[in-house]
Structure 1
């Protein structure tokens, strides 16, 4: 079974003024990666509650984050041949992705779709319990973009298997 490519974004907060700080991918082959994003000077919104969730400080982003144009190029390089990536938080992730590409002066070479369109009713019914079981089983650190993308992919796979079994 070919796995869908999953994308996850951690951000400076939610709502107006928030921006992407980490972008993670889980590729069709099951490998995953993530990059920190260096905020632009005008990106000043910072929600301490969001930092408590993801554990990434603004100072760390300034030190270790990649420039947005480099992140946008990387995303296009990774996803142009795939054509589509899926997100479980499409409304937020698509907004942050659009912001990133806009400020990078580039267009995305792929589409971001909601993960929901890949899930049947059986998978949806099993989703939350399966995800939590995987978190406990694998000791996944939640709210880091690469690990969250991989968790979504593994949850997709296991709910497919469970929904398909007699």
Structure 2
């Protein structure tokens, strides 16, 4: 089984930013992602971030799910495993905390840094392996589900290349 990877896309970086999409790569390799409907008080919007992820505020309002639904879904998905991993723990953990705070809920899992799972040989291979997978699969970057799966595949290939399987 593979580690569960979580990725979050956001309205931008820094003060006032908030999560706009959360995605998972499950232990079996399947993926899922949900757009998040911004709350009224979530007004920060960085046009540069929109250029990266390609998600407009209008689309979030039309297709996004309420914060409480996304928090419930995450708890349902992750409570039994109890843990998920992120390559941008500092940002993702902050946005995850914001999501659960506004949902009035506590997460029933913890988010850990992906780096904790990697040994030195995996770290050395990481960048090149990730780029190879992007080219091979034509992965669309900066979408939460796709990025989570990319990280999971990169983890798997670097582990296999290091003989750690």
Give TM-score, length-normalised by structure 2: 0.99
SS in 1 for 2:132: helix
In structure 1, what is the equivalent of residue 50 of structure 2? 51
Q: Deviations over 1:63-115 (max 9, x none)?
A: 00000000000000000001000000000000000000000000000000000
In structure 2, what is the equivalent of residue 73 of structure 1? 72
SS in 1 for 2:162: helix
State the 1:163 CA deviation.
Answer: 1.1
In structure 2, what is the equivalent of residue 147 of structure 1? 146
Q: Is residue 2:113 matched to residue 1:114?
A: yes
Q: Deviations over 1:6-60 (max 9, x none)?
A: 0000000000000000000000000000000000000000000000000000000
Give TM-score, length-normalised by structure 1: 0.98
Kindly report the root-mean-square deviation, in angstroms, between the aligned alpha carbons of the 2 structures: 0.7
In structure 2, what is the equivalent of residue 161 of structure 1? 160
In structure 2, what is the equivalent of residue 102 of structure 1? 101
- Structure 2, unpaired ranges of 5+: none
- Structure 1, unpaired ranges of 5+: none
State the 1:164 CA deviation.
Answer: 1.2
The whole-number CA distance in structure 2 between the counterparts of 1:161 and 1:100 is 35
Runs of at least 4 residues off by over 3 Å: none
State the 1:128 CA deviation.
Answer: 0.4
